[in-house]
């Protein structure tokens, strides 16, 4: 964007009263769209079998895990204790069509079988992903990627930003950029749409407040606050996020105050740890998105809105848990055509930050997320308010936390963990028997270690 466009944008904001041009000033925004910064280069008119919209970053398009019987058979063939007859029965259960809705035999069969693919029949897959063979996740091949140079280096695996900056650290994109529900043109991946719909329906709200004492277009001593708001997003008559509404910002664990510098309207923060709400589509997922050594950048648009980018090193175990344990891994895998075992290995391969001396491995993965912002008035609360708490949801939140804790123990120690009580992973019984079909398997605590993974 040219300097003239940036200045016009800020003046448009000034005209409606969001900024005060002389002396101390303040500006506010509410986040209207929030998605991983995965660059997309496909075309909508492409079709080749089950492959969808390839591009320069994903030569074979989006992932197709649990899409067709032949692919399911390949995945099940990696399970050492499955016989050829079992694999055939799982891949092609009796059905008149590929019915993958919640009542369909494919949905139930594939969901149940996918949950038990470890080196022994009673090992639950998604809490113990290391115990299963890697089914393979296509990685991004493009050199172009959005994000920040977090480590100050230019390495062979780094990306180049769309405007030419080298050394961009966004290995989450490298690992997951071809994953079907997070990949799509103009933010139309299925989980991108689902999570943003839930945000706009009131599940959670993110707000940003800028303030300073110089020119709002050029201020080298500004402050940026980002955090959770207890107020639902307000829409206009067209159903779009409305401008000029007021939102409270609360200083909870999902809040950060950063030093910022503004040059020609573009905002760039210091590099520091950033806390803010994470993407969610169920209330049990609502947690802090902790970006270690993070940064945030805002660029104003000509209509008074703004575009943002937030990045840093995230604990890849939290990223995995957020994606898997909102319901259960098998359910989401069949519905969204993704395989969380493949995603686990991709995260572990590309982890590049937060070195853990105890395990000798990296716990963090560099990442970046896009934000679209609408002007708003952001005000302080008159009393403390907790972030993300919903009445009557204590049980589901505890089950999510217990399942995440079991996952972390499993992948850190490589010791198989049992499924915690209340976990969504209890949806299927031992060996992949669907509980929704009235067949309950017996659970046996497992304390065996698998090495070499």
Give the residue extent of every domain in the chain.
3-43+137-380, 64-136+392-437
pLDDT in tens, 194-231: 999 999 999 999 999 999 999 999 999 999 999 999 99
- Pairwise CA distance, residues 453 & 411, whole Å: 9
182: number of CA atoms within 13 Å, CB side?
27
**H-run or E-run covering 38:** none
Per-residue pLDDT of the chain (453 residues; tens, 9 = 90+): 333 344 344 444 443 444 445 579 999 999 999 999 998 777 767 777 667 677 888 888 888 899 888 999 999 999 999 999 999 999 988 765 566 666 677 778 899 999 999 999 999 999 999 999 999 999 999 899 999 999 999 999 999 999 999 999 999 999 999 998 998 766 778 899 999 999 999 999 999 999 999 999 999 999 999 999 999 999 998 889 999 999 999 998 999 999 999 999 999 999 999 999 999 999 999 999 999 999 999 999 989 999 999 999 999 999 999 999 998 999 999 989 999 999 999 999 999 999 999 989 999 999 999 999 999 999 998 887 777 656 567 888 999 999 999 999 999 999 999 999 999 998 776 666 554 443 333 333 333 333 333
Strand 353-356 vs strand 361-375: parallel, antiparallel, or unpaired?
antiparallel
- Pairwise CA distance, residues 19 & 17, whole Å: 6
Q: Any idea of the CA torsion for 119, 176, 194, 97, to the nearest 10 degrees?
A: -50
- Pairwise CA distance, residues 326 & 137, whole Å: 21
**Total count of residues recorded for the chain:** 453
pLDDT in tens, 1-56: 333 344 344 444 443 444 445 579 999 999 999 999 998 777 767 777 667 677 88
- Pairwise CA distance, residues 423 & 325, whole Å: 8
Name the token pair of 317.
């175990």
> E-strand spans in 266-360?
266-269, 272-277, 288-300, 306-315, 353-356
Count helices and strands in the chain by DSSP H and E runs: 10, 16
Torsions phi, psi for 425 (to 5 deg): -70, -5
Q: Kindly report whether the global pTM for this prediction surpasses the value 0.75.
A: yes
What letters, b where the CB count within 10 A reaches 16 and e where it falls short, cover 281-300? Answer: bbbbbbbbbbbbbbbbbbbb
């Amino acid at each position: 964007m040219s300097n003239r466009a940036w200045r016009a944008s800020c003046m448009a904001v000034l005209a409606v009263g969001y900024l005060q041009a002389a002396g101390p000033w303040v500006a506010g925004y509410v986040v209207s769209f929030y998605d991983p910064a995965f660059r997309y280069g496909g075309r909508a008119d492409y079709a080749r079998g089950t492959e969808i919209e390839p591009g320069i970053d994903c030569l074979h398009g989006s992932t197709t895990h649990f899409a067709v019987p032949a692919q399911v058979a390949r995945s099940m063939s990696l399970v050492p204790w499955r016989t050829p007859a079992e694999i055939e029965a799982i891949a092609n259960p009796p059905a008149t069509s590929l019915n993958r809705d919640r009542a369909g035999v494919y949905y139930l069969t594939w969901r149940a079988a996918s949950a038990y693919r470890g080196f022994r029949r009673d090992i639950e897959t998604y809490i113990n992903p290391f115990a299963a063979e890697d089914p393979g996740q296509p990685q991004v091949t493009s050199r172009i990627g959005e994000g920040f140079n977090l480590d100050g280096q230019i390495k062979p695996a780094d990306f180049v930003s769309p405007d030419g900056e080298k050394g961009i650290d966004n290995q989450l994109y490298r690992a997951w950029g071809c994953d079907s529900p997070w990949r799509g043109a103009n933010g139309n991946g299925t989980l991108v749409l689902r999570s943003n719909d839930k945000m706009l329906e009131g599940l959670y709200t993110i707000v940003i407040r800028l303030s300073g004492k110089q020119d709002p277009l050029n201020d080298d001593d500004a402050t940026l606050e980002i955090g959770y708001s207890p107020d639902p997003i307000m829409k206009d008559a067209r159903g779009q996020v409305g401008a000029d509404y007021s939102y409270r910002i609360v200083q909870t664990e999902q809040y950060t105050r950063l030093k910022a510098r503004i040059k020609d309207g573009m905002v760039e923060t210091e590099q520091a740890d950033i806390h803010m709400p994470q993407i969610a589509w169920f209330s049990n997922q609502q947690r802090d998105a902790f970006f270690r050594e993070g940064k945030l950048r805002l660029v104003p648009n000509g209509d008074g809105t703004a575009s943002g980018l937030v990045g840093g090193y995230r604990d890849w175990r939290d990223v995995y848990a957020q994606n898997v344990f909102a319901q259960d891994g098998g359910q989401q895998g069949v519905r969204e055509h993704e395989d969380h075992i493949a995603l686990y290995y991709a995260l572990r391969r590309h982890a590049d930050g937060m070195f853990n001396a105890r395990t000798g491995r990296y716990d963090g993965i560099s990442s970046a997320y896009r934000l679209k912002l609408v002007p708003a008035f952001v005000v302080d609360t008159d009393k403390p308010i907790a972030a993300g708490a919903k009445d009557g949801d204590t049980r589901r939140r505890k089950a999510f936390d217990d399942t995440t804790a079991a996952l972390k123990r499993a992948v850190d120690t490589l010791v198989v963990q049992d499924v915690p009580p209340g976990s969504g992973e209890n949806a299927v019984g031992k060996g992949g028997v669907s509980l929704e079909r009235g067949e309950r398997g017996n659970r046996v605590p497992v304390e065996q270690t698998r090495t070499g993974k």
